[in-house]
Amino acid sequence: MDYENIATSSELPSYSPSTPSPDYSYELSSGERLLENTPHRLQMLRPSALYIRKEGATTVILNDQEEGTTIPRYGRQGIISGSLCFEQSDNIVEVTVKIKGSMDIFVSEGGAKSITVFDVSYPLWSQTSVESQPSICPAQIIFSYVLPTTFTAEDDRVLPIPPTYNSPHLYLAGPFARSSYVLQIIIKRPRHPKVAIWPKTQQFVTPSYLYNGLIQFTAFVRISIPFHYVPRTRAHRPIIPFSSFLSSIKSAPEEWYQVVAQLTSRSGGTTKDPLHSLLFVPSHRVYGLLDTIPFHVQLTGDVHALQELFLSGQEPVRVQSSSESQNINISDISLDEHIRLEVSLLRQVAVSYKGSKSWEDSIIGKGTIWPKPPHASDNCTSKAECMDHVDWEGELRCKETITVGGFDATNIHVKDFVILKILPSKSKSPIQALRITVPVRLVTDSCDVAGIGLNYPAL
């Protein structure tokens, strides 16, 4: 090996200490800009009140509830925690906690069925499980269990467990859907059937055989507490406020979702000069139950076709003509006298069983709508090129009674839509009624703009 080519330590570069790193600050300095930010989301305060239920000689206490609540409430991965207090515990043989979720459905063609979402039991205390004898049940038992998050549906899909829900069931022969949850406390005591004093709680007696051949009757006291399961879901994007739709559609077209439909004549075909209806809603189409959803409606087409629509049965609008151009003004038209616009939130509940499927629609929110002032008319070089449009804006919001968003549990599927209806107000109107449907998803919580560090200026 040649050692002559190996550099000696004297030939290595001299070491110089590096300059100290600059002080860290989360605030931007001059000349810096924020590329990406994932701040910690603000946590909602957990309820701290107690739910207390007394049945006979047993008291059930549940933690982390809203003040004054009559039905306990839990969210996704909710922890059912609390304690049991017994006034008489010396004769208790066994205590069990049972948590059950179920879906009840009805379809007129397929019948009714109750589907178990989950059914889990947790033994709290048992006389046979205690090694030291004799054993006496403690006067107070503390428990804490986490709710399941998924279940296996009939089609073998693993789905999130559905929220507590009860369909409106508007029609007697219509479908019915309900998902419900219950917490049960089962207390086992020995009891003689003839001398027993029956409490007001649900109780049933079964015989059990002892080792000496005698029969001992055992009473099971069951305390059932229904609870609401409300998993929270949040919109991933906020609804950006715009002061003007026409300016926003030019500066930020990606913030709007557009649906276009062509109006048809009463004869069944398209009009001679086609008219189109455009509906615009916020592009992400995931909205919170408390969100105010803006929308924009536009009728566009040949200006003479618009005149025919809004002035059917009346004298035509005066058209100012010149040798070079036409100037057509529809600003004096009373729109409500000719067509009626309705924008609403529609909820569809679909129930399927034994190959039969039925659904029921209900309106869960009605929009307010107002016309926009007509824009300045354009000069047209020829009649065929005269295009114009009429605009409306509005806002849409869910009813306050709606507390559950859409979900899919195979047998029960809840979907939501934004619906636009254009209805002719007069029988002589040249067009047929039109309906535009936009699928949307409603979630429990709005996007937390402050929590994710977004600040959108009004455009």
- Nearest to 447, CA basis, from 234, 290, 297, 220: 234
Range ranked top by mean pLDDT from 216-220, 261-265, 348-352, 369-373: 348-352
**Under a CB-based contact definition with an 8 Å cutoff, are residues 328 and 319 in contact?**
yes
- Tokens matching residue 308: 């025919």
**Under a CB-based contact definition with an 8 Å cutoff, are residues 117 and 103 in contact?**
yes
pLDDT at 410 over 80: yes
> What local confidence, expressed as pLDDT, does residue 321 receive?
34
pLDDT at 416 over 70: yes
The alpha carbon dihedral of 276, 281, 286, 289 has a sign of negative
The alpha carbon dihedral of 415, 418, 424, 429 has a sign of negative
Of 1-15, 257-271, 343-357, 412-426, where does mean pLDDT reach its minimum?
A: 1-15
- Report residue 287's pLDDT band, with 50, 70 and 90 as the boundaries: very high
**Could you give the domains of the chain?**
49-194+201-229 (2.60.40.640), 245-312+337-374+386-443 (2.60.40.640)
Q: Provide CB contacts within 8 A for 136, sequence distance 6+.
A: 89, 90
- Report residue 442's pLDDT band, with 50, 70 and 90 as the boundaries: very high
Q: Convert the pLDDT of each residue in 118-150 to its tens digit.
A: 999 999 998 877 665 557 899 999 999 999 999
Higher pLDDT, 51 or 13: 51
Bridge partner residues of 106 (DSSP): 112, 176
Q: How many CB atoms lie within 10 A of CB 181?
A: 23
Higher pLDDT, 426 or 393: 393
Prediction pTM value: 0.76
Distances (CA, A) of 229 to 164, 225, 296: 5, 13, 36
> What's the mean pLDDT in 327-355?
75
Distances (CA, A) of 234 to 148, 251, 289, 405, 441: 20, 27, 10, 10, 11
Higher pLDDT, 25 or 314: 25
Of 152-161, 168-177, 350-359, where does mean pLDDT reach its minimum?
A: 168-177
Give the chain's end-to-end CA distance (angstroms, integer).
76
**Under a CB-based contact definition with an 8 Å cutoff, are residues 292 and 266 in contact?**
no
- Nearest to 86, CA basis, from 125, 121, 123: 125
Burial of 323 from C-beta contacts in 10 A (0-12 / 13-18 / 19+): exposed
> What's the mean pLDDT in 234-255?
87
- Report residue 27's pLDDT band, with 50, 70 and 90 as the boundaries: confident
Residue 266, CB half-sphere, CA atoms under 13 Å: how many? 9
> What local confidence, expressed as pLDDT, does residue 111 receive?
86
> What local confidence, expressed as pLDDT, does residue 340 receive?
85
Q: Convert the pLDDT of each residue in 178-221 to its tens digit.
A: 999 999 999 998 865 444 444 445 555 455 544 444 445 578 88
Higher pLDDT, 172 or 46: 46
**What count of residues does the chain have?**
459
Can you point out the beta strands (E) in 264-338?
275-282, 286-288, 293-302, 320-321, 326-327
- Nearest to 282, CA basis, from 426, 405, 440, 82: 440
**Under a CB-based contact definition with an 8 Å cutoff, are residues 272 and 305 in contact?**
yes
Interatomic CA distance for residues 203 and 216, integer angstroms: 16
Interatomic CA distance for residues 178 and 391, integer angstroms: 41
- Tokens matching residue 444: 């429990």
> What local confidence, expressed as pLDDT, does residue 199 receive?
46
Share of the chain above pLDDT 70, in %: 74
DSSP letters, 414-428, are EEEEEEEEEEESSTT
> What local confidence, expressed as pLDDT, does residue 302 receive?
80
Average pLDDT of every residue of the chain: 80
**Under a CB-based contact definition with an 8 Å cutoff, are residues 289 and 442 in contact?**
yes
Interatomic CA distance for residues 149 and 162, integer angstroms: 9
Q: How many CB atoms lie within 10 A of CB 350?
A: 18
3-state class (DSSP) for residue 102: strand
Of 83-87, 135-139, 395-399, 425-429, where does mean pLDDT reach its minimum?
A: 425-429
Tokens 């618009």 -> residue: 306
Distances (CA, A) of 26 to 29, 39, 453, 455: 9, 11, 13, 17
> What's the mean pLDDT in 406-413?
94
> What's the mean pLDDT in 305-330?
50
**Under a CB-based contact definition with an 8 Å cutoff, are residues 240 and 456 in contact?**
yes
pLDDT at 458 over 60: no
> What's the mean pLDDT in 49-63?
95
Residue 130, CB half-sphere, CA atoms under 13 Å: how many? 14
Structural Rg of the chain based on CA atoms:
34
